Amino acid sequence: MPSEKTDKKELQPEEALRQRVAELVRVKSRDGQFTSRTEIRQYLLDRQLLPSQPKEGEPDQFQPLLVKTLEENGDLKELSGKDGVPRYYSSVYLSDSYVRLLLRKEGDPLSMIAETVRENSLVYPRPLPLTTFSHSPFDLTREEIPACLRQMADREEYADIQQTTTSIGTVYLYSTLHLDRDYASMLAEWLDVGQFNNP
Amino acid sequence: MAKFGGWTGKTLRVNLSTGKIWTEDTIEKYKDYLGGTGLGYKVIWDEMKPETKPFDPESRLIFGIGPMAGTGAPCNGRTAITSLFPTCWPKPLVGTGHMGGQFAAELKYAGYDSIIIEGKADKPVWLSIVDDKVEIKDARKIWGQGIRRATAEITQELGPEACVAAIGQAGENLVPMSVIMNSYSHSAGGNGAVMGSKNLKAIGVRGTGSITIAGDKGEWEKLLKYNLSIMGANNNHAVPSSPQPWAEYFNPGSRWKASKGLRWEAANPPIDTGACDPHDLNRIAYRTNNAVTYLGDIGWSVTVRENVCTGCPIRCHPMIKVPSAKAKYGVPEIGMNTCGGLNFGRSFFKQFPDGPRGLTNVEACMVGMHMADDYGIWCNYSQLQRDFVKLYYEGTIKAKISDKEFKSYSWSKYEKGDPSFLFELLPRIARKEGELATVLGLGTGYLLEKWGLSEAEWKKDKDLVYWKMSHPKHHSNEDCGQCGVILNTQYNRDCQCHSHTNLVRGGLPIQVQKKIAEDLFGTPDAVDAVGAFTPMNTGKAKMTKWSLLRKELHDSLSLCNWMAPYATSPLKERGYKGDDTIEAKLYSMATGGKKNPEELDVVAERIFNLHRALTIRDMGTKEMREKHDTIPDWVYYDPDKKPVYTKGTIHLDKQDMQLAMDMYYEVMGWDKKTGAPTADTYKKVGLARVAEDLGKKNLLP
């Protein structure tokens, strides 16, 4: 585990600083979050590990520190969201698929729902219950979800996202790009009712 | 005789007719059958005549325990109770009730590998085992009492660390649909009445010894840690039910319910289950929450914790707290059980006033669980309840019982989904009071026979999932197509096999499953996505044989087939592969009798072929294909008439299933025409004398 470094050798101050940055990113990753440049800088400033302003005539230490930290810690990754701003995470604690979910969450909720439904319809394959989107990491409210679905129904780019309702009234979403209606309905019924009745 | 680890070396024998108590050398007599079901089948083959009936004094009741029990191997709490199954219709045949709990390890610590009971006591007795002191004791004080009172009384006498396996009033009254239960809530279904027929109320065990591990202790510890590292949640579900930061995949149907913010709310203080990274072995116990699996999200609000069998980190046995059940129905507010035991009460009802996943549903579970687990009634994988619902709503009950008896039940309560209805029904089943309760207690086949109903009709009803011989399907085509169907043809009760379902229902994407199947069975086509089944192939035949043999292996070693075999793991770095050689590693190191996986599979093959031989001998026919390995009509039926092997249907093709049976018999070394093992196959697996005996009776193909 990267956070449990047992190497007892004394770290040089710069090296120790980079380890603290790496640790910050890992802890946030473990909690399912990216870390932004601003957060890292603020973390260091709060602990007076970085001067609030570069000394006159000297370059800003922050960017080189970040670059070197990434070089030394292979699990730390940088990626850009749709806003072009870099985020950092540890690939040990954040899986690729969770990273994709977090990026989707930063964007339009309609797109987040659609892309997640498409991925599930393709990969597993299966429809997804609507309730999935009210839980972490999606965290849409119970009011937001139907509002999103209403908007999606009017937009051509989401025409493949369809609903099926099980015999006990649970609504599932699927993509017609990967599942046909009958198959999606059968799978929804199996997931929602069949597995309960066939333990 | 060589010394082995794992086994204690002694098998306890008790004749209740004569009062004789003695021991046999386990190694000398039973090592080639391991223990558990293997030992049970061996005893029945050697000692019981085909004409023996389940409740005859000559009938054997075998508490079979294997060399892994009590060793520290993960999930070693299994006891296989083998006897003639009184519910098996039209003729009782060999069957096994499987219980977890603490009984297996405690018996091993007392110095015994298994217990073989024969005879019939002339008055109610219980068997006291305290290390090498074994006594038959008067049980008249506890006869007529429920399992809980009996357990408490015996524990008072033997001490709080003792383990008690007892029957309730149902077993005493020879109700075929009855259980033997240890540790208050861990039940073995189907042979409670066999125990009752012997006037044996309970077995209380206290053991202060230990089990020797033959191998190096350090290596053993490493092996156990390795085993833990490839385990998922209950049924070895390999992915969490919701997206987790560490997880590449998730599956809403997974039994791996843990997530940050989801708490066991009825614990004091509530416990956050957390993200449960699979590398953190100290968090395995938080992964599964079967209150949520069976009850829905309301399960979080009632969970106190998850209860456990010996050596199991998974904890599939939820303890729930439902104060309203106590307030409204007077049952204890805390209860625990899993699967059919937890679902016992609610499964009688078609509907509840607050919907299928509301509080009334939970309360019905509590009422049913407390009553069934005390009276010792068996659900037969909920076939009892499915039969009841059909019989009521189709008007059969009203037609078949007297008007007076019909009016003695509060049917309006029943239709509304009022759990208090169970107070009217369940005690009567245990006491055989009235026509309805008595027939329900017989098991499906005998019920149908007594009421002049057609078994063929039951076999057509898809919702009943009735299979044959009184018993339902257990993970058949709905999970695993042809493989599931074949497995369900093989036993004389519901097949209780999880080897296949653990692989296909664990939540991994179909392409990952196919990669694992390719490694195990030589082709990715051995598994299909649910509802996208394809025709039979050799991979599926191999998978079926593997599933069956591993089940018997687990039941004979005392490893839990609700977890093993570990075909998959939750580890991305392993490509989600598990390790199906783990049983051989555990066996070799614990016992010192080294066997590679192929050699251990031959032992499993010996054990299942003996089960097959017993079935052939006691049915008096070798025509297994036609008369035993039958498939109900509903397997071939689709309500929407979708063509077979198209997406969106799970029904199978009759002709293809004939091919499937051919291919299965072939990989098993059995005759395709009859479905009976050949003499060569018996010899190959070490059952030459069995073949000779069957040959004399013209029961070889």
pLDDT tens digits, residue range A106-123?
A: 989 999 999 999 999 999
**Using CA atoms, how far apart are residues A109 and B118, in angstroms rounded to an integer?**
68
| A186-192 average pLDDT score | 96
Question: How far apart are the CA of B525 and the nearest CA of chain A, in angstroms?
Answer: 16
Point out the domain boundary residue: B161, B187, B206: B206
Q: Do B243 and A96 touch (CB under 8 A)?
A: no
Q: Does B145 have pLDDT greater than 50?
A: yes
Find the CB nearest B647 among A95, A183, A198.
A183
Give residue A5's pLDDT: 47
Q: Which ranges constitute the DSSP H helices of B495-641?
A: 499-504, 510-521, 538-557, 582-591, 597-619, 624-627
Q: B206 has which bridge partners?
A: B130
pLDDT in tens, B260-272: 999 999 999 999 9
Test B252 with A129 for CB contact under 8 angstroms: yes
Q: How far is A63 from chain B (nearest CA, A)?
A: 27
Domain containing B80 — which CATH number? 3.60.9.10
Domain-embedded: residue B344: no
Report the alpha-carbon distance of residue A31 to residue B563 in Å, rounded. Answer: 29
| DSSP three-state, residue B376 | coil
> Does the pLDDT value for residue A3 go beyond 60?
no
Last residue of one domain, picked from the residues B191, B206, B221? B206
Average pLDDT in the B115-132 region? Answer: 98
A16: Cβ contacts below 8 Å, ≥ 6 apart: none
**CATH code that applies to domain A13-94:** 1.10.10.10
Q: What pLDDT score was predicted for residue A60?
A: 81
Compute how many other C-beta atoms are within 10 angstroms of the C-beta atom of residue B53: 12
Taking CB atoms and an 8 Å limit, are A136 and B259 in contact across chains?
Answer: yes
- Indicate the pLDDT class of residue A10, thresholds 50, 70 and 90: low
The burial of B452, by beta-carbon neighbours within 10 Å (0-12 exposed, 13-18 middle, 19 or more buried), is given as exposed
What pLDDT does A52 receive?
80
The residue segments making up the domain with residue B565 are: 474-696
Report the Cα–Cα distance between both ends of chain A, in Å, rounded.
36
Task: State both tokens at A39.
Answer: 């957060």
Query: What's the sign of the alpha-carbon dihedral B506, A102, B264, B314?
Result: positive
pLDDT tens per residue across span B74-122? 999 999 999 999 999 999 999 999 999 999 999 999 999 999 999 999 9
Cis peptide before A125 (omega within 30 of 0): yes
Number of domains in chain B: 2
Query: Which two tokens mark B500?
Result: 């296949």
Question: B352 pLDDT band (50/70/90 cuts)?
Answer: very high
CATH number at residue B511: 1.10.599.10
| pLDDT in the model for residue A61 | 86
CB neighbourhood size of A139 (10 A): 11
Ordered DSSP codes for B161-213: T-EEEE--HHHHTT-SSBEEEETTTEEEES-HHHHHHTTEEEEEEE-------
**What pLDDT is recorded for position A11?**
64
pLDDT digits (tens, 9 = 90+) for B440-497: 999 999 999 999 999 999 999 999 999 999 999 999 999 999 999 999 999 999 999 9
Q: At what angle do helices A62-72 and A13-30 cross, to 10 degrees?
A: 70
Check A190 against B251: CB less than 8 A apart. Answer: no
Any domain includes B215? no
> How many residues does this entry show for chain B?
701
Summarize pLDDT for B155-186 with one digit per residue, the tens: 999 999 999 999 999 999 999 999 999 999 99
Q: Mean pLDDT across the stretch B323-332?
A: 98
Percent of all residues in chain B with a pLDDT value above 90, rounded to a whole number: 100
SS3 label, residue B77: coil
Contact B119, B57 (CB under 8 A): yes
pTM for this entry: 0.96
Going by pLDDT thresholds of 50, 70 and 90, the confidence category of residue A53 is confident
pLDDT the model gives residue B634: 98
Interface test with A, best of B237, B241, B250 (most A CBs within 10 A): B250
Give the CA distances from residue A96 to residues A35, A87, A101, B256, B390, in Å, rounded to whole numbers and listed in that order.
16, 14, 9, 20, 49
Residue B536 has pLDDT above 90, yes or no: yes
The partner residue sitting opposite B246, judged by closest CB among A95, A183, A187, is A95
The secondary element (H helix, E strand) that includes residue B264 is: strand B263-264
Fold assignment, A108-197? Arc Repressor Mutant, subunit A (1.10.10)
H-assigned helices in chain A? 13-30, 37-46, 62-72, 96-106, 109-123, 144-153, 181-189, 195-197
Cβ within 8 Å, pair A182-B340: no
pLDDT at A4 > cutoff 90: no
Instruction: Kindly state the average pLDDT of the residues B314-322.
Output: 97
ipTM above 0.85, yes or no: yes
- Does residue B663 surpass a pLDDT of 70? yes
A152-170 in b/e burial notation, b at 16+ Cβ within 10 A?
A: beeeeebebbbebebeeeb
Confidence of residue A2 (pLDDT cuts 50, 70, 90): very low
Domain segments of chain A as ranges: 13-94, 108-197
Does residue B116 come out as left (phi exceeding 0), alpha (psi in the -120 to 50 range) or beta?
A: beta
Which residues of chain A neighbour B242 with C-beta distances below 8 Å?
132, 135-136
Whether B552 has a pLDDT exceeding 80, the answer reads: yes
pLDDT band (50, 70, 90) for residue B605: very high
Q: What value does the mean pLDDT take over residues B235-258?
A: 97
pLDDT at A175: 98
Residue of B nearest to A192 (CA): B253
pLDDT tens, residue by residue, B2-40:
689 999 999 999 999 999 999 999 999 999 999 999 999
pLDDT in tens, B370-421: 999 999 999 999 999 999 999 999 999 999 999 999 999 999 999 999 999 9
Judged against a pLDDT cut of 70, whether residue B144 lies above it is answered with: yes
A13-94 and A108-197, same CATH topology: yes
Confidence of residue A1 (pLDDT cuts 50, 70, 90): very low
Q: Name the closest residue on chain A to residue B357, using Cα atoms.
A: A168
Nearest chain A residue to B279 by CA: give it.
A1
- Residues B563, B31, B203, CA angle at the centre, nearest 5°? 70
Q: Report whether pLDDT(A57) > 80.
A: no
Return d(Cα B481, Cα B652) in angstroms, integer.
7
Mean pLDDT of chain B: 97
B390 within some domain? no
Residue B296 banded pLDDT, cuts 50, 70, 90: very high
Q: Among B311, B309, B303, B315, which residue's Cα sits nearest to residue B276? A: B315
Q: In this model, does residue B1 exceed pLDDT 60?
A: no
- Contact (Cβ atoms closer than 8 angstroms) between residue B189 and residue B97: yes
Q: Please, what is the average pLDDT of chain A? A: 91
Cβ-defined contact of A125 to B529 (cutoff 8 Å) = yes
B395 CB burial (10 A radius; 0-12, 13-18, 19+)? exposed
Which residue of chain B has the CA closest to A101?
B243
Q: What is the pLDDT of residue B2?
A: 61
**Where does a domain end: B206, B237, B263?**
B206
